[in-house]
Amino acid sequence: MTLEGKVAIVTGAGSGLGRASARALAAAGASVVVADIDDPGAAETVDQIRAADGTAISHHADVAVASDCESIVRAAVDEFGSLNVLHNNAGVAWPGRDGFAPDIDPAEWDRVISINLNGTFYCCHFAVPEIAKAGGGSIINTASSMAHLPLGGLDGYAASKGGVALLTKSMTPSAGRLGIRVNAISPGYVDTPMNGLIWGNDDVKHAFDLGHATGLQDPDEIADVVVFLASDASRSLTGAVLNCDRGWTAFKQPDLLRGF
């Protein structure tokens, strides 16, 4: 699954899944633009890539702002000459602020949708012409198991990730005519700081762990799927929303979480 000579953007790459994906893409040979609103986190990711003899630069961006998304694409082309891979990974989940629809502050709803869904659209909007110009490539969007099996209580997050999944499918025919494959990943629950906000304590974390056939996931295993989708090894896949969730959506998870 070599990516030698390819140029990739990863949003939300300053920590968690984004950092793991940026490192894995670089290890496969890609030059990576590490985009994040968290400048120290992005710089640390770049340092880790360079320490492993990879190539990367950091770029400050808030994906909820269209002009910032344009600037990420411009940075990739200016620094590395082209763009081949876009991994739309930046996202937020805010337990306690994003809940049941009538209880959500509309401003909080707007922010979740702006980052998770609008940010994916904005990056695609600016990246597609450059990827087409380079002869085609791959877009990998991060959806979620909540796009298929919402738990309730995070209505904004579930709606945003459902939108990402359908945007992925809707883009596929037109992108294909440009030589671009568009897929999405739907991880289950990965042991990251953001998901720690969702389960909150060890008892709830244990319940989530039991809901996966082989336990909670780690960021590196999701990064392996991203590299696969970025590479020609997945050339038959486009319009796919892959449940890379260790079986989470194969079960009726809400039953496990009653009482928490």
List the catalytic residues.
Answer: 157
Strand order of the β-sheet with 241-242 is: 55-60, 31-36, 7-11, 85-88, 137-142, 180-185, 241-242
Cβ proximity of 42 and 19 under 8 Å: no
According to DSSP H, which parts of 36-104 are helical? Answer: 39-51, 66-80
* 178 residue type, one letter: L
Rounded Cα–Cα distance for residues 141 and 179 (Å): 17
CA 251 to chain centre: 23
Cβ proximity of 186 and 147 under 8 Å: yes
Cβ proximity of 91 and 193 under 8 Å: no
